[in-house]
């Protein structure tokens, strides 16, 4: 049996008033945050779903940023590639003109001067930077200038000029995730875009008796190829051809040496795995540890666009119209074909990026709508509920002041 007293009535009134004040504070907090979930216990299932939706929306927004950044970068790179293509067309016009043999040596030298200036401009375009300051054609070494011009003397030039262009950029390319587990390259490596011919490397060693002596590996264009003890050169050739690299391996029938030939115009990227010396023993690499540092006895052919431009310039200085109309013009045509193919790749990549951006623009609002359904507060309903509770609270306070019994303090006044 409960003991009825003035203290009991006061405690009960205080308890229920505090309960109502807590409920009002909870609604006020929800309205301030504009969220209907203040604590997980309010709706555990909705809280779990909202966490998943928030995480998914965050990933979609990151994919959208990656897509926009990569698309902007690709557009800038495409512009530089098209400018290079225009300069290559001018080089071809000069080559066709110089191949006629109707000009004097002085006239050919004048054309060579223009070729030299076009070469310098192409080097500038190949070292172009994006809006963020990164080099566009440096592969995965975006802070390293990809092409370094080597100065020297060429007969007929009358001074120092470019005699070599070295690639210092990365072998791969940074990748951007544009959707779940789907990646696209952020740029095209310079040793692919500014290349002219399919490079070919023939080893300088007889490989007929070659055997792999231990578990090791080699890297061909970034593809790791595992080798086992006892593998012959024929096994190595088969594994290279099955690796998916854009390289065809074969055996030179005359010298019995390993031959690596690119299936499309680009610089071959070959190196031995950690601690291995397979390609050194096959006479492909020098053993310095630097990728694609070929052995002195290796025969290497197939150069870059810059090599082609320098060959055209030198032939024009010499007045050798047969060289201009033969090997040089063929190499220049191959370089233009490669640039056209790389532009097509860039265009296809931009089309995919634009499609991904459109899809993300539709998907983000859809998922955000699902998140809002689980998490957002119905402000009108909350405000109405708050006013009802406020009215009830004021009524309760008024009733408490009237019904609570008087105490001793009331009689002492």
Read off the pLDDT of residues 214-266 as tens digits, 9 standing for 90 and up: 899 999 988 899 999 999 999 999 999 999 888 999 999 888 999 999 999 98
What pLDDT, on a 0 to 100 scale, did the predictor assign at position 159?
A: 79
Q: Which residues contact 50 (CB under 8 A, 6 or more apart)?
A: 37, 371, 374, 375
Average pLDDT, integer, range 48-71 = 84
> What is the band of 372 on the pLDDT scale with cuts at 50, 70, 90?
low
User: CB atoms < 10 A from the CB of 100, how many?
Assistant: 10
In the predicted structure, residue 23 carries a pLDDT above the cut 70: no
What are residue 269's DSSP bridge partners? none
In the predicted structure, residue 190 carries a pLDDT above the cut 50: yes
What pLDDT, on a 0 to 100 scale, did the predictor assign at position 383?
A: 67
In the predicted structure, residue 32 carries a pLDDT above the cut 90: no
In the predicted structure, residue 1 carries a pLDDT above the cut 50: no
- CA pseudo-torsion sign 37, 40, 44, 46: positive
pTM for the structure as a whole: 0.77
Read off the pLDDT of residues 118-135 as tens digits, 9 standing for 90 and up: 999 999 999 999 888 889
> What is the band of 17 on the pLDDT scale with cuts at 50, 70, 90?
low
- Give dist(CA 192, CA 346) in Å, integer: 12
Q: Which residue has the tokens 């950029």?
A: 169
Percent of the chain with pLDDT over 70: 80
Assigned token pair, 115: 């070729």
Instruction: Say which residue, 367 or 87, is predicted with more confidence.
Output: 87
Q: Where in the chain is the domain with CATH 1.20.1330.10?
A: 53-194+304-364
Instruction: Say which residue, 391 or 365, is predicted with more confidence.
Output: 365
* Domain 200-301 in CATH 3.30.70: yes
In the predicted structure, residue 2 carries a pLDDT above the cut 70: no
> What is the band of 107 on the pLDDT scale with cuts at 50, 70, 90?
confident
In the predicted structure, residue 60 carries a pLDDT above the cut 50: yes
> What is the band of 53 on the pLDDT scale with cuts at 50, 70, 90?
confident
What pLDDT, on a 0 to 100 scale, did the predictor assign at position 130?
A: 86
What pLDDT, on a 0 to 100 scale, did the predictor assign at position 282?
A: 93
What are residue 173's DSSP bridge partners? none
Rounded mean pLDDT of the chain? 84
Average pLDDT, integer, range 309-332 = 89
Average pLDDT, integer, range 71-90 = 93
In the predicted structure, residue 368 carries a pLDDT above the cut 90: no
Contact status, residue 77 vs residue 188, Cβ threshold 8 Å? yes
What pLDDT, on a 0 to 100 scale, did the predictor assign at position 407?
A: 57
Percent of the chain with pLDDT over 90: 40
Q: Which of 26, 147, 115, 49 is nearest to 312 (CA)?
A: 115
- Give dist(CA 259, CA 249) in Å, integer: 6
What pLDDT, on a 0 to 100 scale, did the predictor assign at position 319?
A: 86
Spell 118-151 as b/e; 16+ CB within 10 A means b. bbeebbebbbbebeeebbbbbbbbbeeebbebee
What pLDDT, on a 0 to 100 scale, did the predictor assign at position 408?
A: 55
Tell me the CATH number for domain 53-194+304-364. Answer: 1.20.1330.10
What are residue 285's DSSP bridge partners? 294
- Give dist(CA 183, CA 174) in Å, integer: 10
Q: Which residue has the tokens 């190196």?
A: 271
Average pLDDT, integer, range 161-181 = 86
Q: Which residue has the tokens 């070659």?
A: 210
Q: Where in the chain is the domain with CATH 3.30.70?
A: 200-301
């Amino acid at each position: 049996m409960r003991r009825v007293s003035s203290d009991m009535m006061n405690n009960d009134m205080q308890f229920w008033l505090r309960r109502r004040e807590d409920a009002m504070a909870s609604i006020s907090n929800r309205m301030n945050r504009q969220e209907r979930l203040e604590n997980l216990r309010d709706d555990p299932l909705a809280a779990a779903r909202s966490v998943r939706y928030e995480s998914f929306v965050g990933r979609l927004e990151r994919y959208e940023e990656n897509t926009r950044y990569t698309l902007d970068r690709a557009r800038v790179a495409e512009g530089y590639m098209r400018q290079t293509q225009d300069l290559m067309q001018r080089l071809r016009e000069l080559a066709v003109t110089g191949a006629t043999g109707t000009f004097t040596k002085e006239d050919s030298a004048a054309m060579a001067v223009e070729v030299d200036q076009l070469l310098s401009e192409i080097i500038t375009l190949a070292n172009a930077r994006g809006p963020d300051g990164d080099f566009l054609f440096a592969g995965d070494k975006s802070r390293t200038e990809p092409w370094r011009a080597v100065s020297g003397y060429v007969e007929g030039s009358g001074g120092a000029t470019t005699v070599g262009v070295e690639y210092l950029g990365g072998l791969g390319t940074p990748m951007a995730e544009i959707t779940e587990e789907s990646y696209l390259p952020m740029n095209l490596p310079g040793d692919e875009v500014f290349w002219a011919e399919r490079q070919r490397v023939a080893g300088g060693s007889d490989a007929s008796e070659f055997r792999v002596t231990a578990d090791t590996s080699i890297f061909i264009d970034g593809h790791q190829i595992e080798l086992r003890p006892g593998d012959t050169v024929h096994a190595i050739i088969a594994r290279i051809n099955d690796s998916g690299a854009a390289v065809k391996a074969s055996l030179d029938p005359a010298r019995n040496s390993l031959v690596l030939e690119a299936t499309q115009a680009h610089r071959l990227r070959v190196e031995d795995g950690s601690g291995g010396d397979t390609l050194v023993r096959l006479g492909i690499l020098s053993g310095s540890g630097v990728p694609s540092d070929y052995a002195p006895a290796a025969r290497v052919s197939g150069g870059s666009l810059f090599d082609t431009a320098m060959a055209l310039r030198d032939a024009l200085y010499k007045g050798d119209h047969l060289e201009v109309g033969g090997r040089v013009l063929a190499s220049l045509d191959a370089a233009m074909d490669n640039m056209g193919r790389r532009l097509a790749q860039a265009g296809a990549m931009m089309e995919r990026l634009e499609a991904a951006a459109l899809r993300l623009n539709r998907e983000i609002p859809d998922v955000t709508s699902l998140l809002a359904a689980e998490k957002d507060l119905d402000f009108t309903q909350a405000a109405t509920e708050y006013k009802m509770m406020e009215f009830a609270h004021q009524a309760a306070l008024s009733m408490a002041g009237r019904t609570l019994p008087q105490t001793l303090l009331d009689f002492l006044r």
